[in-house]
Amino acid sequence: MTLSNPWQTASRNAARLYARTATLIRPQKRTMPDVWGAENRVYPPSSGYPGKRNPYLTPYGVPFGRAIARRRHKRCVFVVSAQSGKSETILDVIGQRLDQQPAPILYVGPNKQFITEQWEPRIMALLDEAPTLAAKVARGKRMTKTRKVIAGVPLRLAHAGSSTALKSDPASLALTDEADELMANVKGQGDPIGLIDARGDTHADFVHAMVSTTSRGPKEVEKDEVSGLEFWKVQPADDIESTIWKYWQAGTRYHWTWRCPHCAERFVPRLACLEYEHKGEEAKTTPARAKETAHLVCPNHGCIITEAEKKAIETTGLEVAPGQHVDEHDNVTGDPPESDTWSLWASGLCSPFQSFGDRAARYVEAIQTGDPEKVQTVTNAAFGELWMPSGGDAPEWEEVCDRRLPYRFREIPAGVMLLTCGVDVQKDRLVYVVRGWGARNESWLIEHGEMFGDHHDTRLDDVWMELAELIENGIGGLPIRRVFIDAGFRPGKKDAGDENTVYEFCRRHARHVYPTKGYDHRTVPLSVNRIEVSPVSGKAGYGLDLVRLDTDVLKSWVHSRIRWPQDQPGGWHLPLDATEDFCRQIVSEARVRKPGGGSMWLRRSRHNHYLDAECLAYGAAKMIGVERLRVESGAKPPPPAPAVVPEAEQPAPAAETPPPKPAPVVALRPTPAAPPPPAETPAQSSGFLGQRRGFLRR
């Protein structure tokens, strides 16, 4: 057979083959993902924004895509609200990389259903709508639901529930979507983030890009000295449940900022900037009214920014990190925090798809349900912010600091009549408080601290000997009348103490030291039951009194005293050297109402040991009848919030005009011959000490 043209072949698909070859070998101009998306992607008529892709509709996604493409950081983290266009940015990144610099890509979604029903169809649409990609796709048997081959390299779609998929292919680029929804452990193979990172060990330019909304964790703002902007303050990682936020705050911590159209100063938009009628008193308004009156307030000068001005300020968006300065022409100088992770946070208020009013209406609607989970969902998904329980039952730590009076640790203020001690047991230490009690339930913190012992192990005797010394010696000449020690450990908790060690210590000091267990709700606040203890060492068993406590009653009492009026008897006082950590732990939990009625305590921080210890000290005081304490006959009652002066610094009275006898600095001790209060010995039939159940459940 003779061919008319030498270059012709017998294949009927010759033209298509030559076209594909030309596409593969044609040099590609390198562009950024946003530029590539604008040039190559077209939305169908059925989409919300049909026509050519406009990545600058969501400008806060552009820096994220460019940070991935530059490959200067091993990890790129983007925290944003739901439905803010982040998936479109990911598609731009995938398309640009496969088209211009083909390399293996691993995409990880939250679950299998999302991958197969939502994401895979969008990937196919991307491959079909971009002309330069369509010719590079290997179709037929080489294409599966979760694995595509483009330009000779694989694009694998995996989910966190499958360790096999996460370990199947090496990758030069990994993209993790909705990181906060990933499983904490993948079938015993470790955390998904670690497995994904391991896929890039053979690629020197590997980048792991993560995008997600947030979940739970504490949040505070602090003013940056360089820019004057209010940025999110870095929080202890142990207090944060949100996976994406831990990685974000370990990175460069860029914040998406706007320029106020009135004062022309930059600010970081966030939920705190959103105002509407009766904000903070949502019961007085409606979602419709909130939507109608919603606006932003510039934190710099209180300028009011309306929805009509939103489109204009969207064009002023700029990412700024702590330590950077922005001039009036938007020139950024200075370096962000040094890190291998590039990270950016953008508020849901910046989304063009929802108005300020829409966000306000959703938030008010969630608040009015009284359901903490719905409030969290809106805070995370609509605003892209961390959420922790708060409200009228949760004072702030600054309010705790305000309870300080002018006295120091181990000084006994006037009015103290007896001491109690509460001890929270951890695996490596004992956390304790000693509180002094006076008339009308007024109390003073005498000391707080932690006992680690020589080996940081509460199963050993040294730390318990230190506690015994404190109990036996007392403070300031006053004995410690009652000690409550937490023995209510949650099974499997890695930092929990040893129950039998607590029981053995309480047995040796049975006269005034009691083990306790706490329960969320009980019919009585405190009760005592005799239990039989069987030591694990094989020693003979013994009987022991176990105190069971209603933790809701105890925690509510402590929080109510934080806001106790200073001019009324019954105050709850702290010394000057009470630490900030102590004050923060006192408000580490918040009491919230359940939608169906009742209440529950939610953690704001995992460090709640001093709150537990304070509750135990109050429970110990309640057991010995602190409510019945009265000022001695003939003695002048101490003022509600006395200014305390150490005994050595007391001014000498003038000789010519002797003043009235002052209230003693060291409280009056109970007369030794006097019988103990009725509650000193637990009565099994008493309503106050009736039947009950355990303490401070974690």
Question: What is the pLDDT at residue 666?
Answer: 37
Quick count: other Cβ atoms within 10 Å of Cβ 394? 19
How confident is the model over 252-260, as a mean pLDDT? 98
Report yes or no on 616 lying in a domain: yes
Tell me: do 473 and 606 sit in the same domain. Answer: yes
Tell me: do 301 and 409 sit in the same domain. Answer: no
Element (H, E) at 425: strand 418-425
462 vs 469: CA distance, rounded Å: 11
User: Is the pLDDT score of 690 beyond 50?
Assistant: no
Tell me: do 366 and 479 sit in the same domain. Answer: no
Amino acid making up residue 529: N
CATH number for position 428: 3.30.420.240
Residue 593 or 671, more confident:
593
207 vs 70: CA distance, rounded Å: 10
Tell me: do 359 and 481 sit in the same domain. Answer: no
Quick count: other Cβ atoms within 10 Å of Cβ 284? 10
Q: Whole-model pTM?
A: 0.74
Tell me: do 165 and 193 sit in the same domain. Answer: yes
Report yes or no on 685 lying in a domain: no
pLDDT in tens, 506-528: 999 999 999 999 998 888 999 99
Tell me: do 307 and 371 sit in the same domain. Answer: yes
Contact 565, 435 (CB under 8 A): no
Question: What is the pLDDT at residue 494?
Answer: 56
516 vs 502: CA distance, rounded Å: 10
- 487 pLDDT band, cuts 50/70/90, is very high
CATH number for position 162: 3.40.50.300
Question: What is the pLDDT at residue 684?
Answer: 39
Tell me: do 456 and 508 sit in the same domain. Answer: yes
33 vs 87: CA distance, rounded Å: 13
- Look at 20-34, 254-268, 542-556 and tell me which has the smallest mean pLDDT: 20-34
User: Is the pLDDT score of 233 beyond 50?
Assistant: yes
pLDDT in tens, 142-184: 789 999 999 999 999 998 777 777 777 899 999 999 998 876 5
Percent pLDDT > 70 in the chain is 82
Non-local (6+) Cβ contacts of 225 within 8 A are: none
Tell me: do 473 and 426 sit in the same domain. Answer: yes
State CA 469 to chain mean position distance: 37
- 679 pLDDT band, cuts 50/70/90, is very low
628, 660, 689 - which closes a domain: 628
Question: What is the pLDDT at residue 667?
Answer: 39
Residue 660 or 303, more confident:
303
Tell me: do 87 and 229 sit in the same domain. Answer: no
Cα radius of gyration (the chain): 33
User: Is the pLDDT score of 413 beyond 50?
Assistant: yes
Note down the domain range covering 355.
221-322+340-383
Burial of 377 from C-beta contacts in 10 A (0-12 / 13-18 / 19+): middle
590, 609, 628 - which closes a domain: 628
Report yes or no on 664 lying in a domain: no
600 vs 422: CA distance, rounded Å: 22
User: Is the pLDDT score of 371 beyond 90?
Assistant: no
Residue 698 or 296, more confident:
296
Report yes or no on 624 lying in a domain: yes
How confident is the model over 632-651, as a mean pLDDT? 43
Q: Which two tokens stand for residue 208?
A: 């792991």
Taking the alpha carbons at both ends of the chain, their separation in whole angstroms is 86
State CA 143 to chain mean position distance: 42
Question: What is the pLDDT at residue 653?
Answer: 42
117 vs 642: CA distance, rounded Å: 68
User: Is the pLDDT score of 266 beyond 70?
Assistant: yes
User: Is the pLDDT score of 492 beyond 50?
Assistant: no
Question: What is the pLDDT at residue 669?
Answer: 41
How confident is the model over 318-327, as a mean pLDDT? 97
* Long-range Cβ contact pairs of 273-280 (< 8 A, separation 24 or more): 273/297, 273/298, 273/299, 273/349, 274/349, 274/356, 274/359, 274/360, 274/363, 276/360, 276/364
Non-local (6+) Cβ contacts of 586 within 8 A are: 397, 400, 558, 562, 610, 611, 614
Q: Mean of the per-residue pLDDT values for the chain?
A: 85
Report yes or no on 692 lying in a domain: no
pLDDT in tens, 178-225: 998 876 555 566 678 888 999 899 999 999 999 999 999 989 999 999
Tell me: do 402 and 442 sit in the same domain. Answer: yes
Report yes or no on 683 lying in a domain: no
Question: What is the pLDDT at residue 194?
Answer: 86
User: Is the pLDDT score of 647 beyond 60?
Assistant: no
Q: Which two tokens stand for residue 514?
A: 């009691």
pLDDT in tens, 624-637: 999 888 765 444 44
Question: What is the pLDDT at residue 188?
Answer: 61
- 320 pLDDT band, cuts 50/70/90, is very high
Tell me: do 361 and 418 sit in the same domain. Answer: no
Q: Report the DSSP beta bridge partners of residue 526.
A: 549
The residue count for the chain: 698
Report yes or no on 43 lying in a domain: yes
How confident is the model over 301-321, as a mean pLDDT? 97
Q: Are strands 480-486 and 513-519 parallel, antiparallel or unpaired?
A: parallel
577, 605, 628 - which closes a domain: 628
Q: How many domains does the chain have?
A: 3
In the block, residue with structure tokens 């398309």: 95
Tell me: do 115 and 162 sit in the same domain. Answer: yes
Residue 135 or 13, more confident:
135
- Backbone angle region of 190, left / alpha / beta, with phi > 0 → left and psi within -120 to 50 → alpha: left
User: Is the pLDDT score of 11 beyond 80?
Assistant: no
User: Is the pLDDT score of 683 beyond 70?
Assistant: no
Report yes or no on 334 lying in a domain: no
Question: What is the pLDDT at residue 184?
Answer: 56
- 442 pLDDT band, cuts 50/70/90, is very high
User: Is the pLDDT score of 335 beyond 80?
Assistant: yes
Residue 262 or 24, more confident:
262
Non-local (6+) Cβ contacts of 467 within 8 A are: 423, 430, 432, 451, 505
Percent pLDDT > 90 in the chain is 62
In the block, residue with structure tokens 């019919």: 523
Amino acid making up residue 604: R
